[in-house]
Amino acid sequence: MITQPDLPQPADPDEEPQVFAVSHNGEGTTLTRRDFLVAAGAVTAAGVLVGCNPAPIATPTSTHTSTPSATATPAQTSTPMPVPTATLTSEQQRVIESCQTIKAHTKYVRALTISPDSKIMASGSGDTFIKLWLLPEGTLIRTLKGHTKNISCLAITADGRLLASGCHDSTIKLWPLPSGAHFKTFEGHTSAVNALVLSPDGKLLASGADDETIRLWSLAEGTLLKTLTGHSAGVSCLALSPDGKLLVSGSLDAAIKLWSLPDGTLVKTLVKDCAGVSSLVLSPDGRILASVCDGESIKLWSLPDGVLLKTLTGHTNFVSCLALSPDGEMLVSGSYDSTIKLWSLPDGALLKTLEGSDHVLALVISPDGKLLVSSDGQGSIRSWSLLDGMLLGCAMDLAANTGKVQGSSYDIKDASGRITTYTLPCGSPIPANAICTCNCVGLSGKSGSSGGTGHYWYPN
């Protein structure tokens, strides 16, 4: 586990935002100075996906009269070929540089998941909070509190109605979506919960923990159905076949175990010169298993026979996480070497290397196949285009970015006709007809402007 420096705790996420009416007249937008300043104070609780440095509480900076403008040869080792680096535009470079300092959480983010409709993302952090973000905008809509230690894993049911969270406090919690009200707590593990998977029919929850067990739970009743034993060290990761009949577990004991469901019978154990298994993903057809089992390399296995097909190398430090595209044709890996690598399947060819992150701790691909989202050891969450690997922006909770803000300018004409320039946080809603000189970039990569584009929402 990465040891993180202590950072300031976020502001109370339960505080309701204030809403301010903006009236219009023929000469422009009418908004009093007092209302604008109060509104600016309110938006410091807002979270947005940006490609810019956030801004401070609004202060008028000037008053003026002018307007500013699967078939592989067994046991092969893949040798990565040089991957050409695309020439970045100035806009793309600005997004990359800006995201270096933007935080979504105050501590490392180890867990990410996206709802089946690709509209809600959940993130879990060492700050003990779970945050819900609206996609594709990246707007923070709610912060969930209830766990007492770092959040290690998250999963959303196939119908998108429930979020499950696993924590180092040894508990599992259920949260209805999108309300996020705490619904149920599962207790039974005796140490940190590291992994969660949900059956396609939403009836079964499987959890793996440092107590060396896998537990099967009834999701509806919250009751423990069965405890699976056999690993001799903590269970670090789980994967489930698309039909929900095969559960795969990885452990620090270097073993990968295959279990039949719902009975929990051990089917096979795979061990192949591993120092410990840290991540697992299964292809959508259930025929290829990708695992990280010796630190810096990735192994591809055929299922159900468990034959080692290929070893992918290229990372220069611990590989912490894996993700698969919905069509099963691309594998994505994240590493402590601060890179993300995209590999084609089943041949294992290296397609692209994405740079610009801290230690990468978690990855998730949206079910619609458009977005790749990564998180790191500094509390940052970045969104990438899966198609071309371009960085689109970074999720930001202003409460996690104290003291790191700079201004975006908004010109407002008051009732007397005077034009005043205010500085507001990046991502603030722009009043209709206001003139914006804005250095903020949303998820789409477009600067905010009046008329609806680039707007962000307050947390609900």
Over residues 105-133, mean pLDDT = 95
Does 235 map to a domain? yes
pLDDT, position 55: 28
Over residues 323-330, mean pLDDT = 95
Does 211 map to a domain? yes
Does 384 map to a domain? yes
pLDDT, position 442: 36
Looking at the predicted structure, is the pLDDT value of residue 322 above 80? yes
Looking at the predicted structure, is the pLDDT value of residue 438 above 90? no
| Angstrom distance (rounded) from CA 44 to CA 399 | 7
Looking at the predicted structure, is the pLDDT value of residue 197 above 80? yes
| Angstrom distance (rounded) from CA 424 to CA 54 | 9
**Residue among 38, 82, 87, 88 at smallest CA distance from 58:** 38
| Domain range enclosing 301 | 76-399
Does 408 map to a domain? no
**Is the separation of the CB atoms in 235 and 212 below 8 Å?**
yes
pLDDT, position 300: 94
Does 31 map to a domain? no
pLDDT, position 432: 57
Looking at the predicted structure, is the pLDDT value of residue 93 above 80? no
Question: What does the radius of gyration of the chain's CA atoms come to, in whole angstroms?
Answer: 23
Looking at the predicted structure, is the pLDDT value of residue 456 above 50? no
pLDDT, position 15: 35
Does 455 map to a domain? no
Over residues 302-306, mean pLDDT = 89
**Beta carbons within 8 Å of 244's beta carbon, 6+ residues apart:** 199, 200, 201, 204, 261
Looking at the predicted structure, is the pLDDT value of residue 54 above 60? no
* Residue indicated by tokens 């007397």: 416
DSSP 45: G
Question: Given pLDDT bands bounded at 50, 70 and 90, which one contains residue 5?
Answer: very low
Does 282 map to a domain? yes
Q: For the segment 353-366, what is each residue's pLDDT rounded down to a tens digit?
A: 998 778 999 999 99
For residue 355, give the CATH number of its domain.
Answer: 2.130.10.10
Q: Which has the higher per-residue pLDDT, 137 or 424?
A: 137
Q: For the segment 329-343, what is each residue's pLDDT rounded down to a tens digit?
A: 999 999 999 999 999
Per the structure, how many domains does the chain have?
Answer: 1
Q: Where are the alpha helices (DSSP H) in 251-334?
A: none
Q: Which has the higher per-residue pLDDT, 3 or 405?
A: 405
Q: For the segment 158-185, what is each residue's pLDDT rounded down to a tens digit?
A: 999 999 999 999 999 999 998 888 889 9
Lowest mean pLDDT among 57-61, 83-87, 162-166, 229-233: 57-61
The CA-based angle 276-336-312, given to 5 degrees, is 60
